[in-house]
Amino acid sequence: MQNPDIRKITNFDEFPAAKILKLMRQCMPHIDHDLEVLKWQYFNTPNGNANLYYIENNNEIISFFAMVCHRIRVGNDLIVARSAQDVMTHADFRGLGHLHVLGRIARESILAAGEIGITFPNQNSERSFRRNGWIELCQVPVRQKYLFEEEITRRTKDQGFVIKAVDISLLKSKKSIWQETDFYLGFNRDNNYLQWRYSKPKQVYMSFIIGDDMGFIVVKIFESLDGKILHICEFFLKQKRDEAVAAALDFVGTLATQWGCYKITAWLTPDHRYAKAFGDFGLKLQYTSRFIFITGNETILDKINKAGAWHFSQGDSDVY
């Protein structure tokens, strides 16, 4: 293929679902992709449609690159962001530079629009992002805690508040808890975003309000080959209520025990203001060979290339 047939779409009406699903099932047979999930992921976000790039050969899609639309809080501003996801090439066409070409075009679009690019690539696609000028921000801040029966005790006294389950689809549209966290950088977790993110088809999440709208938690129970794992997908409190972090983590630990989990996982950077509480709870940072990458114009990068200022969570990744 000397002149690859490169295409870009942004609307569901143009979406070649059958061809893309065929490629996904060839490249990632262990993941159950279907049209319902892809429509939710690419076209139902509250911030706009994805930019989808692909290459065709003999009427088959052989390479694909998705840039899902979000907004990221940067100080007091909200900036459009594109999250690179589902980056893949058919096995018969690898090594020909197709992903490099699609990635270059996608990045040029980000730079021209003054947007932020962010991605959590696997090791197979990481080099393509490096070659196209993406910057390594930090390691994916994976934390984990193994649960043992003798450790199932409360570490905190009664804090004078309760943590109760909430139907995330019924969150009020007024000012959200996220707006009062005062984190400098992070995916904009307003109520519209949270309602979309945790309506992912075929997934079950549990969401909780801490006290009287003090904070918010979302968890997911995952059945692994070794047993059940509790993933903390969201965990944030209003800025002036950080003293409740330890008690909220105790609640998560109790929940994990009740569900018979053997491990809890979370994402949290080492310089985060919750880091000491997470460490004391036993959620320790783990070594990983995976990294978070960012891109943008020079002005954007000056604002976002600050790993310690980011609030990341496992919910930022489409995997969870």
pLDDT in the model for residue 5: 85
The separation between the first and the last C-alpha atoms of the chain, rounded to the nearest angstrom, is 36
What is the phi/psi pair of residue 156, to 5°?
-120, 150
User: Which residues face 236 on adjacent strands?
Assistant: 216
pTM: 0.93
pLDDT band at residue 2 under the 50/70/90 scheme:
low
Q: What is the pLDDT of residue 240?
A: 82
Phi first, then psi, for residue 222 (nearest 5°) are -115, 130
Let me know: does 195 contact 169? Beta carbons within 8 Å.
yes
Token look-up 């390479």 returns 63
- Mean local confidence (pLDDT), 29-43: 93
Kindly indicate whether the domain formed by 142-287 is annotated with CATH number 3.40.630.30: yes
Number of H helices, E strands in the chain: 8, 15
For the chain, the structural domain boundaries read: 5-139, 142-287
What is the mean predicted confidence (pLDDT) over 12-30?
A: 95
The length of the chain, given as a count of residues: 320
Please list, in sequence order, all residues whose beta carbon lies within 8 angstroms of the beta carbon of residue 284, skipping any fewer than 6 positions away. Answer: 143, 144, 145
Please write the tens of the pLDDT for every residue from 271-317. Answer: 999 999 999 999 999 999 999 999 999 999 999 999 999 999 999 99
- Please give the average per-residue pLDDT across 110-125, as a whole number: 94
Find tokens 């310089």 and name the residue: 271
Average pLDDT over residues 82-87: 96
Query: How many other C-beta atoms can be found within 10 angstroms of the C-beta atom of residue 14?
Result: 10
Q: Do domains 5-139 and 142-287 have the same CATH topology?
A: yes
- Is the model's pLDDT at 4 over the cut of 90? no
Q: Which of 59, 60, 56, 70 is nearest to 119 (CA)?
A: 70
- The pLDDT-based confidence of 196 (bands split at 50, 70, 90) is very high
Does 222 have pLDDT greater than 90? Answer: yes
State the fold for domain 5-139.
Answer: Aminopeptidase (3.40.630)
